[in-house]
Amino acid sequence: MVWRISDETAFDTLGDEVRLTINGAPIRAPQNQSLLVTARQNGFEIPTLCYHRDLPSEGQCRLCVVEIGEHPHTQIVNSCTYPTTAGLVVQTHSDKVMQARRTVLELLLARTPKAKLIQELAAAHGVYESRFKTDDPEELCILCGLCVRTCREVVGVSAISMKGRTPDKQVATPFMEKSPACIGCGSCAFVCPNNVIPYTEKDGVRTIWGRDFELQACTVCGNYIEPKYQLEHWAKITGDPVETFFVCRDCR
């Protein structure tokens, strides 16, 4: 159900743009753009852990909720997955919204009590402890899903996925074994907001997800570029000879 402004103040659609209100301010924005992007483009900051501009939104973390509609008929929705449409009335920091975010942060604190990112975000919302049970005090993964989506949507190999159900849900390789699909690119580790994916490089070898990947040295300067598996993957996608990628950016 889409909540709209009353007829007396209804805004019209402006071609590819629509008019709506956010926190009482009239806004113009592209139709069907996510409310999260629309709000941020207009100076209304909304917290989120699972959103990335280069990935499809899936609403995993539930921190970006906003309230749409007019009293008493309002609704809480994920702003990252809800489309901007004509006449919407949006509140980004209403009492309902803030209570929902604080509950989510309590749950995250219970899951990852030692995660600095969560501690700081929770404190910013006035949350310093959780009423919920902590299953593993050493857990740091917040299950945002960014690593899984990056592997699937950007890299295109799906070497990792979400396994199990809460409270045992986790990011893992298939059958918890070394994934033959992994190309060692490290994109999952780079995108992780909590830096919890083990990743090392030593003596020309990158180790991630239990596998060692030999790094290719630049044929000009000798500096390591990326794992050979990754360069072969690029060659397969582009159709170019793999040797094309044996020269680093600085030497091209």
Q: What is the CATH number of the domain that holds 83?
A: 3.10.20.740
- Answer yes or no: do 198 and 237 share one domain: yes
Helices of type H across 16-94: 35-41
Is residue 7 predicted with pLDDT exceeding 60?
A: no
| Residue 207, pLDDT score | 97
What's the domain count of the chain? 3
- Answer yes or no: do 19 and 47 share one domain: yes
Q: Would 59 be classed as within a structural domain?
A: yes
- Answer yes or no: do 205 and 222 share one domain: yes
Q: Would 141 be classed as within a structural domain?
A: no
- Answer yes or no: do 166 and 132 share one domain: no
Which of 80, 115, 136 represents a domain boundary (last residue)? 136
Nearest to 61 by CA among 90, 92, 101: 101
- Answer yes or no: do 81 and 120 share one domain: no
The stretch 60-82 carries a mean pLDDT of: 95
Q: Would 165 be classed as within a structural domain?
A: yes
Is residue 166 predicted with pLDDT exceeding 90?
A: no
| Residue 12, pLDDT score | 42
Is residue 8 predicted with pLDDT exceeding 50?
A: no
* Residue 83, amino acid: P
* Euclidean distance between CA atoms 64 and 49, whole angstroms: 8
Is residue 96 predicted with pLDDT exceeding 90?
A: yes
- Answer yes or no: do 241 and 158 share one domain: yes
> Residues 232-241: pLDDT tens digits?
999 999 999 9
- Answer yes or no: do 76 and 152 share one domain: no
Q: Does the model's pTM come out above 0.95?
A: no
Is residue 9 predicted with pLDDT exceeding 60?
A: no
The stretch 220-228 carries a mean pLDDT of: 96
The stretch 4-30 carries a mean pLDDT of: 71
- Answer yes or no: do 157 and 245 share one domain: yes
| Residue 13, pLDDT score | 44
- Answer yes or no: do 62 and 102 share one domain: no
Q: Would 34 be classed as within a structural domain?
A: yes
Q: Would 127 be classed as within a structural domain?
A: yes
| Residue 5, pLDDT score | 39
Q: Would 102 be classed as within a structural domain?
A: yes
Sheet strands (E) in 31-135: 65-70, 73-78, 89-91
| Residue 90, pLDDT score | 98
- Answer yes or no: do 89 and 106 share one domain: no
- Answer yes or no: do 13 and 70 share one domain: yes
The parent domain of residue 112 ranges over 95-136
Q: Tokens 């008493």 identify what position?
A: 72
Q: What is the 3-state secondary structure (H, E, C) of 58-125?
A: CCCCCCCEEEEEECCEEEEEECCCCECCCCCEEECCCHHHHHHHHHHHHHHHHHCCCCHHHHHHHHHC
Indicate the length of the chain as a whole number.
252
The stretch 68-96 carries a mean pLDDT of: 96
Mean pLDDT of the chain: 92
